[in-house]
Amino acid sequence: MEWIEVPDEGLKLRDIRRITKRDQAETAGIREQVENIIAAVQEQGDAAVREMTQKFDGIWVENFLVSADEIDEAVTYVGENFIKILEEARDNIQQYHERQKQETWIDTFRDGVRLGAKYTPIQRVGVYVPGGTAAYPSTVLMDTIPAHVAGVPSIAVFTPPGKDGKVNPYILAAARIAGATEIYKIGGAQGIAAAAYGTETVSPVFKIVGPGNAYVAMAKQLVFGTVGIDMIAGPSEVGILADETSNPAWIAADLLAQAEHDRRAAVFLVTPNAALAGAVEAEIERQMEELPRKDIIADSIKNYGKIFITKDRKQAIDIMNLIAPEHLEIDFAEPESYVEHIINAGAIFIGAYTPEPVGDYFAGPNHTLPTMGTAAFSSPLGVYDFVKRSSVLEYNQQAFVQIADKVAQFADVEGLQAHGMAVRRRMK
Amino acid sequence: MEWIEVPDEGLKLRDIRRITKRDQAETAGIREQVENIIAAVQEQGDAAVREMTQKFDGIWVENFLVSADEIDEAVTYVGENFIKILEEARDNIQQYHERQKQETWIDTFRDGVRLGAKYTPIQRVGVYVPGGTAAYPSTVLMDTIPAHVAGVPSIAVFTPPGKDGKVNPYILAAARIAGATEIYKIGGAQGIAAAAYGTETVSPVFKIVGPGNAYVAMAKQLVFGTVGIDMIAGPSEVGILADETSNPAWIAADLLAQAEHDRRAAVFLVTPNAALAGAVEAEIERQMEELPRKDIIADSIKNYGKIFITKDRKQAIDIMNLIAPEHLEIDFAEPESYVEHIINAGAIFIGAYTPEPVGDYFAGPNHTLPTMGTAAFSSPLGVYDFVKRSSVLEYNQQAFVQIADKVAQFADVEGLQAHGMAVRRRMK
């Protein structure tokens, strides 16, 4: 890991952006290919989806919709023990997200003036779930449950079939448990296109959420506007605030857990204690050897592992607020007392017994979090992402008369005479 | 206007998308030019901004920051009468947006498990305000006040100077009244670049909001990721639900008000009453002649004016929900009773005395609304856009021990062994 001695006067946003910068994913040449896939699905519907599934997933799928029998089979395969774990995770996630529900309100602001906000769930959403070597049932839970809690009446999962034409059983089980209403064996850019524009068998959705490879990410960007999308997630990261009370083996284990996600994952240790930092680094070297994904970990740690040595805890927090990490662990003594000073972080994990994996799977808050410093201006996925607000306005005649002339003068200043006329006609 | 007789079985989303489709704005060739402007500002800072201001705005500006004297002068120019109107609008907008504030909460969910959400204002935002022939002080109010209510400590306005090196006085007055902390005479793509990356004189912001021409819109798309942005607004639209109790002259005036915004603005009248529709059309022809912007209006009405004749009020509402208009006026008898059935609309204007201009300037709800059908999945600008949420998680040792094995099993299923190890080490 690279060591950065923070000077007494601290660092600036510009410095932090340079230090924490990561390489861009390679996307050259993808755009045109994805545009063609989307155009084909728009024009030829199911036929194009079948052809592309053959081409990219290596299997001809006649019926995309996963049957109830297939889901039953998956649930049996997954087994009672893990189904119970999924259900407990679902209950925790659901309970936390219930707190995010917002109620429609309409109030009288002045005599004859009623204003409000009407909340309505998005009527149909698509959840993209990657296939491939690793299946992430946790992603199915985290993307589907908030939509379910929001009251979205129709939640369609899109995921690529394996070469045997089947979907990973953990994904199917998680989708049922989370409350998905349909599951389609359609992956890649063709899955995003089918969700956005619809085909003979797929009704179009209004919003698409969920992670995916570069093709999926590009397709989401291209259909944005026709449908809503969640954020295009960057590679993951963790920042840990530690001091002399921290256990170096645990800190190292948490940094390694983050690093195993991706060669472009980043890990930040920010501490006023250089001895602790040294001990953590030694532990990383030792623990890494035991881990199956050590090649990925080694790349991530080498390129994007940073240790900031600060003059004190306060400066450590200032640095962390500039980093704005996706995951932030506070492992200072009396960790709760620092929460109020955290300005930028996707999720805040307090104390030694709240390692980041607790939040990935089980605790309840969403694991879809803003990455790459975007926590400075954006938020975790939540129920908020699956409802929309309509403003509500009502003036009666008397209240209208009182303001009409001011509204008309405003329109005059802006040079919009028809706006003024719409008001003045009602005064005659 | 084009008349559409809605069949008994109604219309589908696909039909509505075809009928309401608008031409794309011409943006070919802009991308590269804007990329170059952004790169120049990133590399040369203020020097590049000065050169580009000379080139695009026709004036050499040495100091971009508007002085307090300049603002005082603008306030005097605008005059006491209109300052009072601006202040009353500000108070209304502020009062409405206060209702959108969210409070940080941390609760005990189970023994030893505390979860919550911490709300923090974005620390610095940029508000882009177009210059040119028409100045829109209402936009300054609508984009700045929600940031101010959210508690954003630093709000910088970016707007192009006129050829005389000055900013429109209505914009300056509105910016002061709304609570902007700085105003910079920098417009166009160079304004967006300066806001996103900073220069010697401009500190970078974390989010940029506000409308602009094609260059500004492209620049916002290109800096997105480094900073947050609001939606790229499309051309405006209104949908009106009317029946035999409606006043055709008023309905016509409201459609004309929307049409004067832009040649690509769209206006939709949805009614079960063909006689009313005919009367409205006659009124449009008559009233149009009196309006200074009649060329723009005529284009908009001709290309994007649609009248849907439905079998009843219920079907009219179904059609309107598929259109998902930016502005929706309910001018049926007993208009309040239909609000609960509205699913998709940016803002709902109830009754004959709440014409859309009341919401543009004065009533309080935001006038920055989702356009082009995006109200099906997105919301008006609000305080929500200027705060972000951090999830908060805390397990004590006992609570951790109870779930550790389940979390580790989850990690095993997902093939993330380092995640499992981070948990298991704490069990030893």
Q: Does A29 touch chain B (CB under 8 A)?
A: no
Residues A250, B377: C-beta atoms closer than 8 Å: no
Domains annotated for chain A, with CATH where assigned, are: 2-22+235-364 (3.40.50.1980), 30-229 (3.40.50.1980), 396-427 (no CATH)
Q: Does the annotation list A170 as a binding residue?
A: no
Contact B128, B191 (CB under 8 A): yes
The predicted pLDDT at position A133 comes to: 66
The predicted pLDDT at position A131 comes to: 87
Residues B425, A260: C-beta atoms closer than 8 Å: no
Residues A416, B375: C-beta atoms closer than 8 Å: no
pLDDT digit string, tens, across residues B301-360: 999 999 999 999 999 999 999 999 999 999 999 999 999 999 999 999 999 999 999 999
Place of tokens 């189904």: A83
β-strand pairing of B387-395 with B113-121: antiparallel
Q: Does B245 touch chain A (CB under 8 A)?
A: no
- List B97, B148, B327, B367, catalytic entry: B327
Q: Closest Cα partner for A225 from B421, B33, B217?
A: B217
Q: Does B43 touch chain A (CB under 8 A)?
A: no
Contacts A–B by Cβ distance under 8 A: 368
Which of A115, A232, A328 has its CB closest to that of B96?
A: A115
The reply to whether A326 belongs to the active site is yes
Residue A276 class from Cβ within 10 Å (0-12 exposed, 13-18 middle, 19+ buried)? buried
Q: Does B410 touch chain A (CB under 8 A)?
A: yes
The answer, yes or no, to whether residue A221 has pLDDT greater than 70, is yes
Residues A418, B99: C-beta atoms closer than 8 Å: no
3-state secondary structure B269-304: EEECCHHHHHHHHHHHHHHHCCCCCHHHHHHHHHHH
Place of tokens 């079960």: B272
Q: Does A419 touch chain B (CB under 8 A)?
A: yes
Helix (H, G, I), strand (E, B) or coil at B96: helix
CA A35 to chain centre: 24
Residues B357, A227: C-beta atoms closer than 8 Å: no
Token couple for B216: 């500004």
Q: Does A59 touch chain B (CB under 8 A)?
A: no
The predicted pLDDT at position B187 comes to: 96
pLDDT digit string, tens, across residues A356-401: 999 999 999 999 999 999 999 999 999 999 999 999 999 999 999 9
Among A188-192, A346-350, B80-84, B234-238, which stretch is predicted with the lowest mean pLDDT? Answer: B234-238
Q: What is the dihedral of CA A226, A231, A235, A238, to 10 degrees?
A: -170
Token couple for A222: 């291209």
Confidence band for A23, pLDDT divided at 50, 70 and 90:
confident
Which of A81, A136, A339 has its CB closest to that of B392?
A: A339
Q: Does B130 touch chain A (CB under 8 A)?
A: no
Which of B345, B348, B353 has its CB closest to that of A395?
A: B353
H or E stretch covering B130:
none
The predicted pLDDT at position A232 comes to: 77
CA distance A81 to A91: 16
Q: Which residues of B touch A399 (CB under 8 A)?
A: 353
Q: Which residues of B touch A348 (CB under 8 A)?
A: 118, 390-393
Which parts of chain B have pLDDT scores under 50?
none
Give chain A's length: 428
The answer, yes or no, to whether residue A225 has pLDDT greater than 80, is yes
Contact A156, A194 (CB under 8 A): no
Residues B347, A395: C-beta atoms closer than 8 Å: no
Q: Which residues of B are annotated as a binding site?
A: 128, 190, 213, 236, 258, 261, 327, 360, 414, 419
Q: Does the annotation list A148 as a binding residue?
A: no
Chain A 304-363, residues with CB within 8 Å of chain B CB atoms: 328, 335-336, 339, 342-363
Which of A123, A352, A418 has its CB closest to that of B343?
A: A123
Contact A371, A237 (CB under 8 A): yes
The predicted pLDDT at position A134 comes to: 67
The reply to whether A367 belongs to the active site is no
Q: Does A105 touch chain B (CB under 8 A)?
A: yes
pLDDT digit string, tens, across residues A267-321: 999 999 999 999 999 999 999 998 999 999 999 999 999 999 999 999 999 999 9
